[in-house]
Amino acid sequence: MKIKKLKIENLRGLSDVHFDFDQSTNVIVGPNAIGKTTVLEAIRLVKGLLMPRYFQEGQQVLVSLGAMSAHPQLNNYVDYSSLARDESIAIKITVSIELNADEINFLSSAKQQLSLEVLKGQMGKNDDQNQLALTQYLSSKEGQERLLKTTVEIEKNISKLTPPCTLPIQLTIDPQSGNIRGANQLNQTMIILLERRHPPHQALFSYFPADRAFPTGETNVQIGSAEATNQIQSHLGQAATKYQRLKQTIVNNLLLSGIDQNELQKDFSLVLGKLLPGKELVGISVTPVGTLKVSIREMSSGKVFDIDGMSSGEKGLILTFMLLYRTLAAGGIALLDEPELHLNPAVCKNIISFISDEIIKKNDIQVLLCTHSGEILGSAFDREDCTIHHLRSHNDATKIYEKDNHEVFSALNRLGTSAADSLFSQGNIFVEGDHDALLLEDGFYDFVAGYKITSLGGRSGIEKEILTLQNAEKKGDLDKLNCFIFDLDRMPTTIISSSLVKVLQWDRYCLENYLIGRKELYDELSELSAPDIGSRGTFENKLKDIALQQLNEVVAKEVYAENSPESAGLRSKDIEGKAFSEMAEILSGRLGTLKSEIQEFDNSKWKRDFISECKKRHSELLPVWNDSWIKLASGKRLIDDLYKEYTINLSKLVLKRKLAKRINADKTEDWTLVKSKILDALGST
């Protein structure tokens, strides 16, 4: 049995989403509070209300969702507002379930039982599920004729089933009439019968909620009919109780599953060895005071302790995978919500491979898993037998990382951002400097919160990745904003922003230039008691003088570039995509030109011309720099030079962060300017 399709309309935070589940492992990711758990609850709701294994299953699911009271006097009322996104329209959930050949063969051999179940449903006898429910009615001629007619119709429908076949199941909850109904009674009944053929400790549907609460101390362990009832209800109707049944589950495996302690030891060794190495099961015993003890040994130290002494994450892992391994029947469906809770990342990396290799392949299980774990997501991306579904909004669920998305995530990976980072955020912000990410978060947190900020450590090669993402955007493969923030560095970029790939280049040399407002910098250094800082006026003049010293270097670079022989260096464009013969032609031509220029080189004349040209260029640029030095000088270099001029007992990074926080607190003109640029790039208001 497999769920192939799921469509959810108007359930809690989801208005209209649909999923295609085409693999055994299906991972659902998305932002916080977007509705991932609601996807699993939708399946649980359909199962409990339309295909209950026992009469109270639907009621228990509604109670757990806060839509019905557990009190007998109040359980005839359903709080529709706790379920619906829009209380004026109906909730609709459609599930397409695929049956295999074995399941169809079973239904063909159980036509009489299927007829009785359908007839009981038509007669409203679902609350009485034993074989005596229709005794009096079937004793009448009318009952016998109706059963015969029902059997004939069922035989006709069953004969049309050829494996693999898909059964559509649709749940509608109508707020106007108050009706809760399905669309096809026979399809629903077939699923009911398929599950009821299994013993109490096995199920076709099992839900593992994220809210895990393990009891401490001794717990009652029982056997018999009461325990069988508790076991059945823990699969789906009262799913949270499975976490209170760790020791009981272990005992059930020994008593009900037909296994001995050696097999149980293998189960524990499998889970512990693959996911929690360094621990092993010692055995099950009763202590001198009469309590049940499941003993675990720490292999490195030899210490033996009760399983209660393990962390909640470790106990959850053991219980979850033992239940998956032992209590899900062949062809079963597991709904796992955030299995990574209370676990370290190293363990999370192995969860998907363990599920796929040890659970699914051995028992043909289908897993639908919701997660926030980047480790789980990353390992799922690397497997061909897993699909990832990105729940982006209340009406948008997209299957991702197919071939047409590979280029996008490869580009993001080269930029230092994983697919998990991208999916779990509003988008990506890429900054150039090593300190820029921290400075943006310190000074402009309200505007960049929710975005993954990655430092590129430089600008080399980044333009190529921008173009890669923009090409992916044109194909429709990009669904989140990626904003690249560059320093000016006296090298304006020619790349133009697109809708989802933004390029923000500061109109000053670098981000630090917005932090060195003379007032803010003087106030910060004064509070730090920097010696010899002098008066505000003296400091501001000194700051300008230090900045203007950079003009000499700028002029020298420009003049030298214009008057020096061509460099013999190798450029990427000289060799990229070219044959050796083409490369040789280009490079030999450059070397020949360089040789000719050097032979004619006049050392004395070149020095006179260089000095003369530098002075001329300096006099042309000085008036501009006098007015705009705070934009044109390198802010990074200026802060470095300040440390040479004054004794500042603080690291440069800490000083920059304090300046970012100060301009934020004072809401300076420079802060407002940067804010407007960021908001414009991110499309915010």
Low-confidence ranges of the chain (pLDDT < 70): 72-75, 125-133, 212-227, 245-261, 287, 289-292, 401-408, 410-412, 414, 566, 568, 572, 684-685
Residue 392's CB: how many other CB atoms inside 10 A?
Answer: 18
Alpha helices, H only, 364-461: 374-381, 403-414, 419-423, 436-448
- The pLDDT of residue 224 is 62
- The beta strand positions in 446-525, using DSSP E, are 451-455, 481-486, 501-505
- The pLDDT of residue 192 is 92
* Structure-token match 């009760």, residue found: 306
Going by C-beta distance under 8 Å and a sequence separation of 6 or more, which residues neighbour residue 252?
Answer: 201, 227, 231
Cα–Cα–Cα angle for 134, 193, 156, rounded to 5 degrees: 85
pTM greater than 0.75 (yes/no): no
- The pLDDT of residue 217 is 54
> What percentage of the chain's residues is helix, strand, coil (to nearest 5)?
50, 15, 30
Among residues 181, 669, 664, which one has the least CA distance to residue 448?
664
Alpha helices, H only, 65-181: 101-109, 111-122, 135-138, 141-158
- The pLDDT of residue 90 is 94
Torsion of the alpha carbons at 684, 36, 76 and 230, rounded to the nearest 10:
-150
**Cα–Cα distance between 411 and 544 in angstroms, integer?**
42
CB 478 within 8 A of CB 451: no
Domain ranges of the chain: 2-100+164-391, 406-512, 515-682
Cα–Cα–Cα angle for 110, 111, 116, rounded to 5 degrees: 100
Indicate the helix (H) or strand (E) that contains 98: strand 91-99
Q: Exposed e or buried b for every residue in 539-562, given b needs 16+ CB within 10 A?
A: beebbbebbeebbeebbeeebeee
Q: CATH for 2-100+164-391?
A: 3.40.50.300
- The pLDDT of residue 685 is 45
Indicate the helix (H) or strand (E) that contains 388: strand 386-393
How far, CA to CA in Å, does 27 sit from each of 41, 376, 424, 598? Answer: 15, 9, 13, 65
